[in-house]
Structure 1
Amino acid sequence: MMRFNSKLCALCKGRKLLCGRPTCPILERFMAAQKVAKFVDRTDIFGSSPPSVFVGEFGYPRVKIGPLVPPVEGNTRHLDDPLRWEGRSVRDILYYRSLLVMGEMRADVDVRKSGRVLGEIQELAMSIKPVDSEVLLKRRPILKVLPSEFAPPLGPRAEMLRFELAENPKIPRKTDRVVEDELKASDAILRLYEWGFDEYYIVRLLSVGLLGLRPRLVPTRWSITAVQDTIGNFLRRKVLDYPEISHYELYFAEFLGNRYAVLLIPGRYSFELLEVWLKGSLFGSAEPEVLHDYENFRGIKGYAEETTGAYYAARLSVLEALDKRKRQAKILVFREITPAYYAPVGVWQIRVGIRKALENPVGRFETLNEALREVGRFLEHPLERYLAKSWLLKQRAQRRLDEFFGGARS
């Protein structure tokens, strides 16, 4: 959940920006909802689903699941396709998502206990093109909660009475093959990935219980991390067979109020994400702390407890780049979240932000100290605090860090 001070919000009412953010996330969400209110203020919604499906996590193993249908017909893919959102603002994305009405129903995660409606939702999820759909709701939909940091934000929703596809969805033959084959979920994910299907399509299939030997509904948030982790581990094993890079390489980009500095260090593969929510940012505090998670060549132990889903998204983007180059390296990613990121839009923006960084080289360096000094030029939070927390740099000779700090203070 977002951290809001209710007393401060009551005093501010979005006008004075007392929280220090450049815009009020509550009002932004409200304005996005107001723009589409006249289109979704009814119980019978007919339109072209992008296609889009959401599976919640609360109440597990009985979760809320439903199709997302806009009151718009035609090519609506941009409403639920993060790969098409580069260059769009947070406000644009909130508007897109507010157009998607979710018809909710409760379902057991064991798909064998579900009926015809789930079958229709599964067909929708398998489509690679928008599908004309109709959803009948018990009452007019309302916007209940603010967005999640993991999945793209949800629009208005209400309990669903009926859902029907108004046309046949376009389902690739390869998707049918994977769904019909008896494959472990991880094997199915990798087969689809190697065939060129994008990860968000794979996430949909996993979420609605179409992949695995014992198909089960998987909450969308969990599916995103599961797919990115599975593909990341696959690429990590490939990258370990490649030669190491020969120089220190630094890359940098800003995207949707996030700063990304990616430092590649010669050596055997390892990965670390260092993350700071700056003062005034969405989850920031008066004294921002450095969050981090890491892994060596064997992979991460357990779950990324501090940086959570951001870890798997960041790791996957860098591993894809290294796999394309046929090289391996130690990877240090710095992420700073500024007040300009006033509403979370999902971990897809981390995937895109780091890809943009890796397309924007800052330079190559002979020494770690030179590279770190350059990193400090792009970050607002003191570099010393990042380095003091870094597991990866602690693995290197302490003498080198002493030299760096000595040089930085002189």
Structure 2
Amino acid sequence: MGVNLTPYDDKPGFYENPREWWGKLNLYDIIRLRTSIIFSNKRLSVKSMDEKIAEAILEAAASTKPVYSEVYFRKPPKPRPIIDTQLKPVGIQGEVEKISITENPKVPRRVDQLIQERIPARDAVIELYISGLDVYYIQRIFSAAGLGVRKKFVPTRWTITAVDKIISQHIFRRVKHYKEYPTYEIYHTSYIGNRYTIFIIPGTWSIEMIEVWLPHSVWVPGSKPYIYTVHELEDGKPNDEDGGYYAIRLSVLEFLDKQKRQAKVIVVREITPEYFAPVGSWQIRESIRNAFKQRPEKPGSLEEALAILARKTILSLEEIVKNSKLLDIVQRQKMITEFF
């Protein structure tokens, strides 16, 4: 665990704000931005809350504005790049001897109360989200042992998925009672070598992620795409656990909640060779959120919708249909309806 030390400039908060990066920074910009940070870390027990370093980490995490910090390292920090599908890039790292927060952190009153109280982490996460606090801020507090009955540190990777899962499940409990979406809609966006096509189908809640690593992309050196799918049906229980899936699920449910509708939703994520260095699941979450800000195409039938889907995606429609559990269900339901 540790704190990120940004270069001295007039926008230190920008280094930790993925919402501000989307559409403004390219992949090189993001890597350059994040690798200019010094990540000061120290190995701590997940249950350790007595050490002054642990307290300083929590103070920095809970502050809604960046705070000035003094950090003493055991050895000079060194470049140790971390590039990961879930985590934001990290460049320079150093083991901490001492951390001091040299100004008063700005902590919302209720956040300070939740840190002192011992209520389930799930309830605390939901309360903070409902109050309007940013999901990335909630992740920081959760990871820094600020929430829960038994306060303990949580690895960042687990934190990201846990927060997405908790919040999306909270929204799902509302969405499943809404009326069904009235029309087919297709949204599309692309960012830093990731292409997202979102297909909304009238019906009861279901969702599917079709993740396609295209040939010659970062994890697929060969000539054939790698296709991975996760889906859930009306019961809200996915057939697999995946961090990218939960980032998509949260953004889709946020949109449906605003529309006061439920629907079947298929999200095709295509990763191209342009995405040569993964920069974290934030770009998945923010890409879906931004896709829903675009004007959708509204086909009048399933056949027309599939034709549009074929134009939007690099993967062939045949491959999408072959790998999609939801399209199989929708097509079978349509055949039964037409038969009767």
Name the TM-score, length of structure 1 as normaliser.
0.78
Contact preservation (8 Å) 1:290, 1:385? no
Q: 2:270 aligns with which of 336, 340, 351?
A: 336
Deviations 1:22-74 (A, max 9, x none): xxxxxxxxxxxxxxxxxxxxxxxxxxxxxxxxxxxxxxxxxxx1111124154
**Mapped partners of 1:70, 1:289: distance in 2:** 37
For 1:132, the equivalent position in structure 2 comes to: 68
TM-superposed deviation, 1:145: 3.4
Q: 2:232 aligns with which of 260, 273, 295?
A: 295
Deviations 1:335-367 (A, max 9, x none): 101111121111111111112221223421222
**Mapped partners of 1:253, 1:78: distance in 2:** 23
**Mapped partners of 1:251, 1:72: distance in 2:** 40
Question: Which one-letter code corresponds to 1:203 in the other structure?
Answer: Q
TM-superposed deviation, 1:128: 0.4
Q: Which runs of no fewer than 5 residues in structure 2 stay unpaired?
A: 336-340
For 1:181, the equivalent position in structure 2 comes to: 117
Q: 2:279 aligns with which of 345, 351, 356?
A: 345
TM-superposed deviation, 1:399: 8.6
For 2:13, the equivalent position in structure 1 comes to: 77
* Structure 1 residue ranges (4+ consecutive) displaced by more than 3 angstroms after TM superposition: 397-401
TM-superposed deviation, 1:302: 6.3
**Mapped partners of 1:127, 1:79: distance in 2:** 15
**Mapped partners of 1:67, 1:146: distance in 2:** 15
In the alignment, structure 1 residue 196 sits paired with structure 2 residue 129: no
Matches within 5 A, 1:297-376: 297-301=234-238, 303-304=240-241, 308-376=242-310
Contact preservation (8 Å) 1:124, 1:169? yes
Q: State the secondary structure of the residue aligned to 2:78.
A: coil
Matches within 5 A, 1:144-159: 144-159=80-95
In the alignment, structure 1 residue 165 sits paired with structure 2 residue 101: yes
TM-superposed deviation, 1:386: 1.4
Instruction: Provide the identity percentage.
Output: 38
Question: Which one-letter code corresponds to 1:372 in the other structure?
Answer: L
Q: State the secondary structure of the residue aligned to 2:82.
A: coil
Matches within 5 A, 1:44-55: none
For 1:244, the equivalent position in structure 2 comes to: 180
Q: State the secondary structure of the residue aligned to 1:283.
A: coil
For 1:121, the equivalent position in structure 2 comes to: 57
TM-superposed deviation, 1:318: 1.0
Q: State the secondary structure of the residue aligned to 1:290.
A: strand
Q: Which runs of no fewer than 5 residues in structure 1 stay unpaired?
A: 1-64, 402-410
TM-superposed deviation, 1:400: 5.9
**Mapped partners of 1:70, 1:353: distance in 2:** 25
For 1:61, the equivalent position in structure 2 comes to: none
Q: State the secondary structure of the residue aligned to 1:334.
A: strand
Question: Which one-letter code corresponds to 1:228 in the other structure?
Answer: D
In the alignment, structure 1 residue 111 sits paired with structure 2 residue 48: yes
In the alignment, structure 1 residue 92 sits paired with structure 2 residue 24: no
**Mapped partners of 1:371, 1:377: distance in 2:** 10
Q: State the secondary structure of the residue aligned to 2:237.
A: coil
**Mapped partners of 1:149, 1:70: distance in 2:** 22
**Mapped partners of 2:318, 2:334: distance in 1:** 14
Contact preservation (8 Å) 2:81, 2:89? no
Contact preservation (8 Å) 2:118, 2:150? no
Contact preservation (8 Å) 1:251, 1:361? yes
**Mapped partners of 1:302, 1:205: distance in 2:** 29
Contact preservation (8 Å) 2:188, 2:196? yes
Distance 1:213 1:347, change over 3 A: same
**Mapped partners of 2:48, 2:174: distance in 1:** 34
Question: Which one-letter code corresponds to 1:325 in the other structure?
Answer: Q
Contact preservation (8 Å) 1:128, 1:171? yes
Q: State the secondary structure of the residue aligned to 2:44.
A: strand
TM-superposed deviation, 1:155: 1.9
**Mapped partners of 1:324, 1:397: distance in 2:** 28
Name the TM-score, length of structure 2 as normaliser.
0.94
**Mapped partners of 2:190, 2:199: distance in 1:** 15
